[in-house]
Structure 1
Amino acid sequence: MVLTPPFEPMLAQAAEYVPGTGVLASGFAAEQKFDGHRAILFTPASPGGRLLLQTRRGTLIQDRFPDLVAVAGQLSEGLVMDGELVVWDTATGRLSFEALQRRAAARGRTATALAAKTPAFFIAFDALQIDGTELLALPYAERRRRLEVLFAARALTSPWTLCPMTTGPATAQQWWDDWSDISGVEGLVVKALNQRYRPGSRSSAWTKIRRRNSTEALIGAITGALARPQLLILGRHDATGRLRPVGRTVPLRPDASRALAEHLTPAGPGHPWAGAKFSSAWGTRDVLDTTLVQPDLVVEISTDTSIDRGGVYRHPIRYVRLRLEATVDDVPLFGGGPAAAEG
C-alpha cells in the first residue's frame, strides 16, 4: 500500500512525570518534544512530482513553506515521514511558535518573504514509507533504524533534521532535567520500541510529558457563578500597569471551587477587562461566558512551556492554590516568564 494524503497520524497520550520514578523504562525510547506543528511529509513516487506537507488534520500546506519545497530534491522518492514543523526566528536567534503561526497562514509572495526571515525546518521522528515501501507494521525500533539509515545515506542536513532519540535512561533523564536550556523543546515523548504505527489512534505506547513550572497570576474573571467558579481567567500586569490576560485554567475541582468562592469579589467600575471576550481554547473563536472579579487575588498555578512571545499560555493552566499571603507585587510581570512559587 502506498501512503497518500489525507493521512491520520498516530497520537500520544499526555501523562504526568512523577519525579524519582525515572523518565525512561526498559523497552522504551525517549524523543525530544519540540514546540511546533505536527506534519506528515510526502515526496513524489517518481521524478517531476511535488513535495506535499499535511497538517495533523489533513490540510495540505506546502505552499506556505516554499523554502522546504525548494530543497525537496535532497529527499528520496516515495518517502513518507512523520515529524514536526518548526521555524527559526533570525531576529531573536530562537525557535518561534508565533513565527510558525504566521508562516502557516501565509501564501504567495508573503510566504516567500517570511521564509527568508524565519526559515522552516522539518524534524523527522518516524518513517512511515521509504522508497515506496510502507512500514506501518514494523516496530518503532526498526522504523527508527531505517530513518537513521536514510538520513546517513543521503547525508541530509538542514532543513531536514533527525529528531534526537535515546534508549538510555541516564540520557533521557538529563534531557528532562536540562530541557529548559534547549530552545523550542517543551518535553519528551516516550515510545515503546515494539509498537507498530497505528494511524488515527491515541495509544499509551506513545506518551508525551511536558515539564511544568510553578508560578503566580491574578484572577481577573471566572466562568460559572461566584459561589461556584468553574474556570479562572488569569492575568498579569505589564510594565505600564495594565492587566493583561495570560490564559485560563482547566476546570476546578469541587473543593478548590468552594474554597475560592469565599474570597472572590465582584468587579467594581473600571475593571480593565470590561467588554473583553475570552476564547474557550487557544486558536479558536468560541467565546467563554465570563464574570469579572476584583483582580487582587494571587493564585499559584502550574504551567507548561508553551508560551507566546507576549506571555500568553497556549495550553490550559492548572490551579494549585490560593496565596492569600501574597500581594499583586509578588506576581511576575506580563511577558516576564515564570517565577518559582515560594512557600
Structure 2
Amino acid sequence: MDLPVLPPISPMLAKSIKTVPPQDGTLYYEPKWDGFRCVLFRDGDEVHLGSRNERPFTRYFPELLNAIRRELPERVVIDGEIVIKRGRELDFDSLQNRIHPAESRVRLLAQETPAWFIAFDLLAVGDEDLMDAPFSERRARLRSLFEPGVGDVADRSVRLTPATTNDEQAAEWFEIFEGAGIDGLVVKPGHIGYMPDKRVMFKVKHERTADVVVAGYRQHKSGPVVGSLLLGLYDEAGLLHHIGVAAAFSMARRAELVTELAPYVTTDLAEHPWGAWAEQPVGQRLPGAVSRWTGKKDLSFVPLRPELVVEVAYDHMEGDRFRHTARFRRWRTDRTPESCTYEQLERPLGYDLDAILAR
C-alpha cells in the first residue's frame, strides 16, 4: 500500500461518563455503534480491514471489500464500525458468527448475513494525511464522500454515521436509538486531531439493574479463585438460561468469593440446570461452548446449586443475554431464584436502524 497513513493504526478511544455532556461550543454527538471497531485502508484494489487488536478482519468480510472498491475513493483511510442488521436493528450474534476459519463458511455467511461498514472518522484521503486536522474538518470531509449524487447513498454497504452538535437532539437520540440496538452515544471534541490509542473522546451508555441467579463460576486465569460469576434467568417454561457473566473483582474479593460459594458447589451435574452444557440442547442458552475467539481455551465452569440471587448492573440486552459483562452490585437474599425471570427486564421501544442512518 502507498497511503499517507498505513496500517496498523490503533483506533482513538473513549472514556466512560455517566450523562450526556452539555454543548460547550466544540462537541459532536454520534450514536455508539455495537459492532467490530475497524480502520479501513483502501489503495486502489488493495483493501485492508484492521481490527482494534490488529488482527485483520479482511478475510472475514469479502462482501465489504467489493463494496469499498465500489463506493469509496481510490485512496482513503476511514475509522468506523462493522455491523450487521437483522430486521430493524443491529445483530451482534450474527456478526460474531462471521469470524469463522473455513473459507466456504465465510463465503456463505457473506451472502446470508452481509455486513455494513459505518464510517465515523476520516484519517486520510488521496495524498492528504488528516490525522492532525481537527475533528470538525475531518467530519466535513468525510460527509462530502456521502453527499447525494456520489453514488446511491441509500443502497450503500458503506454508510455514514449521523452526528449532531445539538445537545438536546443528542439526549433524544440517547433515549430513542436504543430500540435499534444502539447502546449509547460517543461525544467528540471538534477541535482535536486523531490520537491513536488515546481516550480523548467520551461515551455515555445505558445502565439498568436486574436480579439474576448465580449457577456457577469460572476460575480466574491466575489460579483457583473466582474469575467470573455465571448468571441465569428463567423463561416461561422454567428453563434457566445462561445470560452472561459478572466479573471485574479485586483479587482479594475473588478469593473471598471462593469461600462464600463453597457451600453451593455441586458435583451432581444430572441435577444442575446446565449439566448438559456440552450437548448444547436446542432452545436453551448454556455456558461452556468453545469460544471462536480463543480457540481451545477451556470454558468449563464450577457448577453451583442455583440458590443464590445477585443484583447486577448491565447496559443492554443482545437477544436473550447481556451484551457486555455485568457489574456486581449486591447479593439479594430476599429474592428467590424462581422469581428471577426475563419479565423483569426493561425493553427499549423498537426503532428502525434505517431511520437512524437516513439522518
Q: Distance in 1 between matches of 2:291 and 2:21?
A: 29
Q: Distance in 2 between matches of 1:76 and 1:119?
A: 21
Q: Tell me the CA shift for residue 34 of structure 1.
A: 1.1
Q: Distance in 2 between matches of 1:245 and 1:4?
A: 42
Mapped contact 2:226–2:257 kept (Cα < 8 A):
no
Aligned to 1:294: 305
Q: Distance in 2 between matches of 1:93 and 1:76?
A: 29
CA 1:74/1:143 → structure 2, altered by over 3 Å: closer, same or farther?
A: same
1:225-240 to 2 correspondence within 5 Å? Answer: 231-240=228-237
**Is 2:245 the counterpart of 1:248?**
yes
**Equivalent position amino acid for 2:18 in 1:** Y
Aligned to 1:64: 60
Mapped contact 2:227–2:254 kept (Cα < 8 A):
no
SS of the residue aligned with 2:175? helix
Aligned to 1:338: 345
Point out the more displaced range, 280-289 or 58-67.
280-289
Q: Tell me the CA shift for residue 37 of structure 1.
A: 0.6
1:58-137 to 2 correspondence within 5 Å? Answer: 58-71=54-67, 72-89=69-86, 92-105=87-100, 108-137=103-132
Q: Distance in 1 between matches of 2:40 and 2:254?
A: 45
**Equivalent position amino acid for 2:51 in 1:** T
SS of the residue aligned with 2:264? coil
Deviations 1:144-183 (A, max 9, x none): 11111122162462212111111111011111122322x2
Q: Distance in 2 between matches of 1:202 and 1:281?
A: 29
Q: Distance in 1 between matches of 2:58 and 2:172?
A: 35
Question: How many equivalent residue pairs?
Answer: 322
Q: Distance in 1 between matches of 2:35 and 2:78?
A: 16
Mapped contact 1:271–1:294 kept (Cα < 8 A):
yes
CA 1:255/1:25 → structure 2, altered by over 3 Å: closer, same or farther?
A: farther
TM-score, reference length from structure 1 = 0.80
**Is 2:328 the counterpart of 1:319?**
yes
**Equivalent position amino acid for 1:33 in 2:** K
Mapped contact 1:63–1:107 kept (Cα < 8 A):
no
**Equivalent position amino acid for 1:100 in 2:** L
**Equivalent position amino acid for 1:297 in 2:** L
Which of 13, 21, 38 aligns to 1:11? It is: 13
**Is 2:241 the counterpart of 1:212?**
no
Q: Tell me the CA shift for residue 214 of structure 1.
A: 1.4
Q: Tell me the CA shift for residue 125 of structure 1.
A: 0.2
Mapped contact 2:17–2:202 kept (Cα < 8 A):
no
Q: Tell me the CA shift for residue 44 of structure 1.
A: 1.6
Q: Distance in 1 between matches of 2:215 and 2:170?
A: 39
SS of the residue aligned with 1:43? strand
SS of the residue aligned with 1:216? strand
Q: Distance in 2 between matches of 1:300 and 1:8?
A: 35
Aligned to 1:165: 163
Q: Distance in 2 between matches of 1:113 and 1:280?
A: 22
CA 1:106/1:33 → structure 2, altered by over 3 Å: closer, same or farther?
A: farther
Unmatched 5+ stretches in structure 1: none
CA 1:113/1:96 → structure 2, altered by over 3 Å: closer, same or farther?
A: same
TM-score, reference length from structure 2 = 0.77
Aligned to 1:30: 29
Which of 338, 344, 357 aligns to 1:329? It is: 338
Report percent identity of matched pairs.
28
Which of 147, 172, 175 aligns to 1:174? It is: 172
**Equivalent position amino acid for 1:319 in 2:** F
Q: Tell me the CA shift for residue 325 of structure 1.
A: 2.4
CA 1:274/1:39 → structure 2, altered by over 3 Å: closer, same or farther?
A: same
CA 1:278/1:97 → structure 2, altered by over 3 Å: closer, same or farther?
A: same
Q: Tell me the CA shift for residue 60 of structure 1.
A: 3.2
Deviations 1:54-104 (A, max 9, x none): 222223333332322233222111111100011123xx4532112112223
Q: Distance in 2 between matches of 1:106 and 1:256?
A: 35
